[in-house]
């Protein structure tokens, strides 16, 4: 459903009016600026709608002496704090005073840093309040020729504050209140009328971008896909529509609103929002349907501001060639009948896996097409014992079919022989303290193990003609029909209708033909999203057509990989 191009926000989108916001303006005096310095005084003023609601002031007794220079700067001496309450008494009282309020401070990072660390040391929960920094607000609201700097004393004079700051906490907090009110009056003339506007203004969110927040009012509060569009004339003057960016969310309205707030930090997304002329939505029955629709739209439309998932089909595989003495080949596509393994995201990753198999099985690495009847000379790898030289048609040729079958078997099932093939080498490297080389071998085998799990995870889904599964949700049950790894239907239903809804979904689901080469009938990325959903706790299988199963030992229990690589025996260091 296309949204309207109007940018006037509705009343629901305006946020909390500044006149209704309770601010607690706080200032701290400390023994220094380091993280281990201590608070010596707290001053705070609570205000709302321009009226003072209360004040909080107390000295604080630190555990160490106040440095002389700090005593000169603040006027707070060791004698003054000798009978003051400790921070363990002061901070709980301040927490109660400032509860549910927006915290305001001049150079807020300093004050909130001390407060947060103090809360944590006392075991208090830091409430993560909304914070307004009058330094940042002044830099956004005032022109450079109005004030020479944004020091509290400078701003207090500029706004004719009733209290002169003097490095005492309550006086500085009172001066900051006057500065805050002066700044709020200034930004109010720039269209900042709510707390949300104020935070976004401080973060330098442009008025045009804030105004586009009204687009989110068209979005439903449900799972779905959203996409930003640009309608612009081409060279011939014809209006052309371009999809700029596709995303998904479990709550479309909340997610789309975030693009027009200070929460969005990505520069390219700022540019995308600036050139967009609207945003449109596709409501979905479930979160998984939203994920899958997003993937399919990104793949088909290739929006210029999306970075991920645009090349879902660009993957690499290892396969055994069909010739007298098969070898490993890195390919971008597999065909029916190919003995293959993968996928790998890059060609380099596929080559690394090939090196693992060369070490384990001593397959030939040459690309020459060998004859099964006529011998040919061997290469240097055979002389080094890293290839059995089937080209010579001797014992190596006789043993070679068994090696090839070993590779194929490791792909079909048990990954442990490949992992265990490096035990001797790994133990030797560690005994010789060649830890960097051992780490490289370990990383290569760990990557191979992950690929084995990935391969069987998607292959098992691809082989299953149909799975109907459901998981409890706020609506009752989210139900999905999955055919050969592809999401064919999605719906949700209350508990009393779950079974009937599942049958209806299966009856109306997309027809999916059996895939070629044992691959899913969708992109690998979609199959992995579907697999991740099926593996969630609480998923219930309603109906199956085919076997959804993995061979034994295609993966290892958590923590078992080091034992497979090194063996169960303790390592014995070499002695000189």
Least Cα distance to 229 among 238, 217, 218, 242 occurs for 242
Residue 5 has pLDDT above 80, yes or no: no
Residue 511 has pLDDT above 90, yes or no: yes
Other Cβ atoms within 10 Å of 243 Cβ, number: 19
Q: What would the two tokens of residue 407 be?
A: 């590779």
Q: Give the pLDDT confidence score for residue 4 in this predicted structure.
A: 41
Using DSSP's 3-state secondary structure scheme, residue 475 falls into coil
Residue 510 has pLDDT above 90, yes or no: yes
Using DSSP's 3-state secondary structure scheme, residue 434 falls into coil
For residue 281, CA distances in Å to 222, 249, 370 come to 10, 11, 58
* Distance from C-alpha of 438 to C-alpha of 180, rounded to nearest angstrom: 60
* Distance from C-alpha of 199 to C-alpha of 264, rounded to nearest angstrom: 12
- Provide the edge-to-edge strand list for the sheet that holds 328-331: 328-331, 316-320, 339-344
In which residue are the tokens 């309020």 written? 101
Residue 234 has pLDDT above 80, yes or no: no
Least-confidence region, from 11-25, 31-45, 420-434: 11-25
Report CA dihedral (120, 125, 130, 135) to the nearest 10 degrees.
-20
Residue 160 has pLDDT above 70, yes or no: yes
- List the alpha helices (DSSP H) in 393-467: 395-412, 416-420, 423-431, 435-463
Residue 537 has pLDDT above 90, yes or no: yes
Least-confidence region, from 45-59, 342-356, 558-572: 558-572
Least Cα distance to 331 among 519, 554, 528 occurs for 519
Note the pLDDT tens digit of each residue in 386-422.
Answer: 888 899 898 888 999 999 999 999 999 899 999 999 8
Rounded to the nearest integer, the mean pLDDT of the chain is 89
* Distance from C-alpha of 573 to C-alpha of 562, rounded to nearest angstrom: 17
Q: Rg of the Cα trace of the chain?
A: 33
Q: Give the pLDDT confidence score for residue 11 in this predicted structure.
A: 39
Note the pLDDT tens digit of each residue in 360-376.
Answer: 898 998 888 898 889 88
Name 439's Cβ contacts closer than 8 Å, sequence gap at least 6. none
Q: How would residue 7 be classed by pLDDT, with cut points 50, 70 and 90?
A: very low
Residue 192 vs residue 23, higher pLDDT = 23
* Distance from C-alpha of 541 to C-alpha of 549, rounded to nearest angstrom: 13
- List the alpha helices (DSSP H) in 464-545: 498-508, 524-534
Annotated active-site residue 167? The verdict is yes
Residue 1 has pLDDT above 50, yes or no: no
Which backbone phi and psi does 492 adopt, to 5 degrees?
A: -135, 150
Residue 13 has pLDDT above 80, yes or no: no
**Helix (H) or strand (E) segment spanning residue 367:** none
Which backbone phi and psi does 263 adopt, to 5 degrees?
A: -65, -25
- Encode 359-368: b = buried (16+ Cβ within 10 Å), e = exposed: bbbbbbeeee
Note the pLDDT tens digit of each residue in 308-325.
Answer: 888 888 899 999 999 999
Q: Is the preceding omega at residue 343 within 30 degrees of 0, hence cis? A: yes
Q: How would residue 274 be classed by pLDDT, with cut points 50, 70 and 90?
A: confident
Residue 237 has pLDDT above 80, yes or no: no
Least-confidence region, from 6-10, 250-254, 335-339: 6-10
Q: Give the pLDDT confidence score for residue 282 in this predicted structure.
A: 95
- Provide the edge-to-edge strand list for the sheet that holds 131-133: 51-59, 39-48, 22-30, 102-105, 131-133
Residue 102 has pLDDT above 70, yes or no: yes
**Catalytic site residue from 167, 340, 449, 496:** 167
Using DSSP's 3-state secondary structure scheme, residue 227 falls into strand
CA angle in degrees (0–180, nearest 5) for 531-536-539: 95
Q: Give the pLDDT confidence score for residue 217 in this predicted structure.
A: 84
Name 100's Cβ contacts closer than 8 Å, sequence gap at least 6. 22
* Pairing outcome for strands 540-545 and 466-473: antiparallel
Q: Give the pLDDT confidence score for residue 106 in this predicted structure.
A: 95
Q: Give the pLDDT confidence score for residue 266 in this predicted structure.
A: 73
Q: How would residue 3 be classed by pLDDT, with cut points 50, 70 and 90?
A: very low
Q: What would the two tokens of residue 478 be?
A: 């989210």
Mean pLDDT (whole number) for 219-229: 94
Q: What would the two tokens of residue 535 be?
A: 């593996």
Q: Are 168 and 152 in contact (CB under 8 A)?
A: no
Q: Give the pLDDT confidence score for residue 10 in this predicted structure.
A: 44
First CA to last CA distance, the chain? 77
Residue 288 has pLDDT above 90, yes or no: yes
């Amino acid at each position: 459903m296309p949204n309207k191009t109007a940018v006037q926000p509705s009343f629901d989108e305006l946020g909390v009016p500044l006149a209704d916001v309770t601010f607690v303006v706080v200032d701290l005096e400390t023994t220094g600026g380091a993280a281990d310095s201590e608070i010596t005084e707290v001053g705070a003023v609570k205000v709302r709608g321009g009226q003072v609601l209360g004040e909080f002031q107390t000295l604080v007794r630190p555990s160490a002496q106040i440095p002389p220079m700090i005593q000169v700067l603040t006027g707070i001496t060791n004698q003054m704090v000798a009978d003051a309450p400790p921070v363990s008494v002061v901070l709980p009282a301040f927490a109660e005073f400032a509860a549910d309020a927006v915290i305001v401070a001049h150079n807020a990072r300093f004050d909130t840093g001390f407060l947060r660390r103090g809360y944590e040391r006392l075991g208090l929960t830091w409430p993560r309040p909304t914070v307004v920094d009058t330094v940042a607000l002044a830099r956004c609201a005032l022109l450079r020729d109005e004030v020479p700097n944004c020091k509290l004393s400078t701003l207090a004079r500029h706004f004719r504050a009733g209290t002169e700051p003097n490095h005492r906490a309550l006086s500085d907090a009172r001066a900051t209140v006057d500065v805050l009110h002066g700044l709020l009056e200034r930004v109010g003339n720039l269209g900042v009328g709510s707390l949300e506007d104020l935070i976004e203004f401080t973060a330098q969110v442009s008025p045009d971008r804030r105004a586009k927040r009204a687009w989110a009012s068209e979005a439903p509060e449900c799972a779905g896909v959203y996409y930003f569009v640009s309608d612009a004339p081409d060279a011939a003057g014809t209006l052309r529509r371009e999809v700029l960016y596709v995303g998904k969310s479990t709550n479309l309205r909340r997610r789309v609103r975030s693009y027009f707030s200070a929460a969005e930090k990505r520069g390219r997304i700022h540019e995308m929002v600036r050139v967009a002329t609207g945003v449109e939505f596709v409501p979905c029955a479930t979160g998984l349907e939203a994920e899958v629709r997003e993937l399919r739209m990104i793949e088909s439309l290739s929006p210029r501001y999306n970075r991920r998932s645009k090349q879902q089909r660009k993957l690499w595989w290892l396969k055994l060639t069909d010739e007298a003495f098969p070898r490993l080949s890195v390919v971008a596509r597999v065909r029916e009948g190919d003995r293959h393994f993968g996928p790998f995201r890059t060609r380099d990753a596929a080559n690394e896996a090939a090196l693992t198999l060369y070490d384990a099985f001593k397959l030939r690495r040459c690309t020459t097409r060998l004859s099964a009847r006529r011998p040919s000379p061997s290469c240097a790898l055979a002389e080094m014992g890293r290839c059995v030289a089937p080209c010579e048609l001797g014992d190596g040729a006789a043993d070679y079919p068994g090696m090839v079958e070993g590779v194929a078997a490791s792909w079909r099932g048990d990954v442990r022989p490949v992992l265990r093939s490096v035990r001797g080498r790994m133990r030797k490297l560690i005994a010789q303290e060649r830890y960097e080389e051992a780490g490289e071998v370990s990383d290569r085998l760990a990557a191979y193990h992950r690929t084995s799990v990935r391969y069987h995870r998607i292959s098992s889904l691809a082989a299953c003609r149909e799975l109907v599964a459901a998981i409890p949700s706020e609506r009752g049950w989210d139900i999905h029909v999955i055919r050969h790894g592809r999401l064919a239907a999605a719906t949700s239903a209350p508990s009393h209708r779950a079974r009937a809804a599942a049958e209806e979904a299966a009856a109306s689901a997309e027809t999916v033909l059996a895939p070629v080469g044992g691959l899913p009938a969708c992109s690998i990325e979609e199959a992995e999203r579907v697999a991740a959903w099926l593996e969630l706790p609480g998923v219930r299988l309603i109906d199956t057509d085919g076997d959804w199963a993995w061979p034994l030992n295609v993966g290892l229990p958590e923590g078992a990989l080091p034992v497979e690589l090194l063996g169960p025996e303790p390592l014995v260091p070499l002695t000189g």
